[in-house]
Structure 1
Amino acid sequence: MVKLDVITTRGGDGGETSLGDGTRLRKDTLRIEAIGAVDEANAALGVLRLHLEQDAATAAMVARLQNDLFDLGADLCMPGIGEDCLRVTDAQCLRLEAEVAAMNAAIPPLRSFVLPGGTASAAAAHVARTVARRAERRVVTLAAAEPLNPAAVRYLNRLSDHLFVLSRRLNDNGAADVVWVPGATR
């Protein structure tokens, strides 16, 4: 499957990198920007997991999200939309929707917008959410320029919703949410 025995290859020293099919691209192309943004989202989820050491079930859920993001990176590193390689699937999007619904069922409805914060784990979930939104914007830009698996954009859209609801759950099911008070600092 994957074997990485040499990490420093010098292949990118000229500002290019390789896709999964061997195509060489400049590191500032839309596709590489999208792949990099997905990688950043995955790293933010790794930081979130550090705050979940006492919550094995939630940590396992976030670990699944990280694995999904690696799947998404693999999807993006193979141009086209064919099924001959690893692609993010609608089943992964549906799993996110089900998890959002299950978490949200125990949380009271919002009466105001929520500011990022509350508990350390909720704040980390908010950071991961905003990084996932950036990844979504990059993938949307790429999808406008060339054919992409449509589930890639759907997955990132669901992921940011998932992380928002997770942040509320990590804030004692919304009890520790920091709510926006319009005009409070005028």
Structure 2
Amino acid sequence: MKIYTKTGDQGYTSLTGGERVEKNNPHVEAYGTVDEANSMIGLAIAKIDQIEQKSLEKIIHMLNQVQQDLFHVGSELSTPKGKNVYWPITDDQVVRLEQFIDELEKDLQPLQQFILPGGSEAGAILHLARTIIRRAERQTIYIKDRLSSGRAITYLNRCSDFLFVAARWVNLKLGYIETPFILPSNH
């Protein structure tokens, strides 16, 4: 099978079920943004993998699972209401994310103030992935009435929480101290 099909050369693509839409269609924007976040998570995994620290294997496993789940989110976002979702998001996938968050938070100090996104390169990439997921969530809300279920929104919301905690956890394991947001003195 060739990678190029030429079917999108005029700026159109197909949603699941065959409906042809412009590539700037809100469904395409939403699942495209999920794909962007998934690629950013892949970059974070590559950076973490280079560190070769045994204690980081747990986060790589979690991030790989999130990457798998994001394909399910994309399936939901590419499927208009009334069509069969090939790989739907399940409640179990949302619960698993919550379990990941709880497991990582055991090692973290509770936040008392806002922190600046950053730290290690891997941590900063996870923060960036989190903001991309937030954008995907906003785009998904725009099309929520055209989706078969609301689980994609729930998953994306939980995923951004997970990525925030994952960034903090990676920074902690790599010895980076979080930089607090400092309120200007004139406030």
**What TM-score does the superposition give when structure 1 sets the normalisation length?**
0.90
Q: Please list, as runs of the form range in 1=range in 2, the aligned pairs for 1:29-44 lying within 5 A after superposition.
A: 29-44=25-40
Q: State the 1:118 CA deviation.
A: 1.1
- 1:41–1:84 CA distance, 2 compared to 1 (3 A): closer
Q: State the 1:158 CA deviation.
A: 0.2
Q: Please list, as runs of the form range in 1=range in 2, the aligned pairs for 1:88-167 lying within 5 A after superposition.
A: 88-144=89-145, 146-167=146-167
Partner of 1:15 in structure 2? 11
SS in 2 for 1:116: coil
AA partner of residue 47 (structure 1): L
Contact map agreement 2:120 2:176 (CA 8 A) in 1: no
- 1:98–1:31 CA distance, 2 compared to 1 (3 A): same
Q: How many residues align?
A: 181
1:28 matched to 2:24: yes
Structure-1 separation of matches of 2:72 and 2:125: 22
Looking at secondary structure, tell me which structure has more helix per residue: 2
Stretch deviating more after TM superposition (101-110 or 78-87): 78-87
Percentage of identical aligned residues: 36
Structure-1 separation of matches of 2:89 and 2:167: 24
Structure-1 separation of matches of 2:103 and 2:59: 13
Out of 42, 46, 50, the residue aligned to residue 42 of structure 2 is: 46
Contact map agreement 2:79 2:147 (CA 8 A) in 1: no
Structure 1 gap ranges (5+): none
- 1:10–1:67 CA distance, 2 compared to 1 (3 A): same
Deviations 1:96-140 (CA, angstroms, capped at 9, x unpaired)? 011111111221111210101111111111011001101111111
AA partner of residue 103 (structure 1): L
Q: State the 1:162 CA deviation.
A: 0.2
Structure 2 gap ranges (5+): none
Structure-2 separation of matches of 1:102 and 1:84: 31
SS in 2 for 1:17: strand
- 1:84–1:121 CA distance, 2 compared to 1 (3 A): closer
Contact map agreement 1:38 1:73 (CA 8 A) in 2: yes
Structure-2 separation of matches of 1:24 and 1:110: 46
AA partner of residue 109 (structure 1): P
Stretch deviating more after TM superposition (164-173 or 108-117): 164-173
- 1:170–1:84 CA distance, 2 compared to 1 (3 A): closer
- 1:81–1:178 CA distance, 2 compared to 1 (3 A): farther
1:169 matched to 2:165: no
Partner of 1:60 in structure 2? 61
AA partner of residue 89 (structure 2): V
Q: State the 1:147 CA deviation.
A: 3.4
Contact map agreement 2:16 2:83 (CA 8 A) in 1: no
Structure-2 separation of matches of 1:66 and 1:124: 15
